[in-house]
Amino acid sequence: MDKRQKPRSKIPTWPSISRATASSTAERDEKAHHGKFATAINCMDGRVQLPVINWLRENLSVDYVDMITEPGPDKILAEGTAISVNKHGSDTILVAAHDDCAGNPVARAQHEMHVRQSVIRIRSWNLPVKRIFGAWIGEDWKVEIIEASQN
Ligand SMILES: [Zn+2]
């Protein structure tokens, strides 16, 4: 008899079960939008993905990095071509150029000029971001900030 009564005694807990389900859904919803995002406009070259992601995570405590990849993005931006930036609540945009780039095979000085022009271009889009970084990734695959703009 006792064993049969136990399941019955659980009936009053029904509302709390549905409350728990509701709150865990809300929690999941919150998690989906939680975390700090940055957007990186980077070369499609596989060698430069992790250096950029790691730099943003280590230096800006970013949780997630939205990657926009193009071959030689500094050249594309410097030439005035628009790149679609789908903002994901990120307050930082970083544009990077790198050594040995097949998409923009120019010397470092030219890359640096393209990166600076890219930062100016991105700034002109008036995106609601706090800062725009221009970076150079050398043959050691280390990210070097060469331009920083506060919006
Ligand atoms: Zn490249």
**Could you tell me the mean pLDDT of each successive run of 10 residues in the chain, 151 residues long?**
54 48 47 80 98 97 95 95 78 96 98 97 91 97 96 69
Q: What is the pTM of this model?
A: 0.77
* CA of 95 relative to ligand 1 center, distance in Å: 12
**CA–CA separation, 58 and 139 (whole Å):** 20
Q: How big is the chain, counted in residues?
A: 151
Of 71, 89, 66, nearest in space to 81 by CA: 71
**CA–CA separation, 132 and 116 (whole Å):** 10
Written as one letter, the residue type at 128 is P
* pLDDT of res. 3: 54
* pLDDT of res. 5: 54
* CA of 38 relative to ligand 1 center, distance in Å: 20
* CA of 128 relative to ligand 1 center, distance in Å: 27
